[in-house]
Amino acid sequence: MKGFTLVEVLVVMVVIGITLALIGLNLMPDDERVLRNEAQRLALLLEQARDEAVAGGEAIAWSAEGERYRFLHQNEEGKWVAWTKDELWRERQFSSGVTLRALRINRTAVPPGEHLTFSSAGLGMPFEIDLGLNATRIGIVGDAMGKVTLKEAG
């Protein structure tokens, strides 16, 4: 009767173990990947908000505190209120563990909850948004013309 030797069985089990470990590592996103994905999503939303303000002729603001952010517009009385007209501008929560570390508008640090405004004229204040996840950080930078880019920490 022919069979497998103990060494052959052990080699196959080691290969299977290594393969499963590599698959597990690839399925679990690391902090940098999670943070980059969140920053890219927010950067695209901010660009879209600027474009919507210009196209719609109505200023749009962005505000964040801790792990949440929202888009706002001015009501008939001129007060900033949460945007409810469109699902795209709904209040959102950052991905798990991602937080707003700092917001600078025109190189001046502003407190959480302050509004970053996109005017209907298309010009705005340059801004920097710092996001963090554990020890990992990434920046989102917007210029006065509405171009939004990611900036690596450091």
Range of the domain at 64: 31-152
Provide the edge-to-edge strand list for the sheet that holds 99-105.
108-110, 99-105, 127-133, 136-142, 148-152
Note the residue count of the chain. Answer: 154
pLDDT of amino acid 79: 92
Query: Mind listing the pLDDT tens digit for each residue in 119-144?
Result: 888 777 899 999 999 889 999 999 88
Alpha-carbon distance 36 to 137, whole Å?
A: 9
Into how many domains does the chain fold?
1
CATH number at residue 121: 3.55.40.10
Query: Mind listing the pLDDT tens digit for each residue in 46-102?
Result: 999 999 888 888 899 999 987 889 999 988 898 999 877 778 888 999 988 899 999
Other CB atoms within 10 A of residue 153 CB: 14
Domain-located, residue 48: yes
Kindly report the pTM of this predicted structure: 0.78
Q: What are the DSSP calls for 30-69, one per residue?
A: -HHHHHHHHHHHHHHHHHHHHHHHHHHTS-EEEEEETTEE
Domain-located, residue 89: yes
DSSP 3-state assignment of 114?
Answer: coil
Asked whether the predicted pLDDT for residue 42 surpasses 90, the reply is yes
Domain-located, residue 24: no
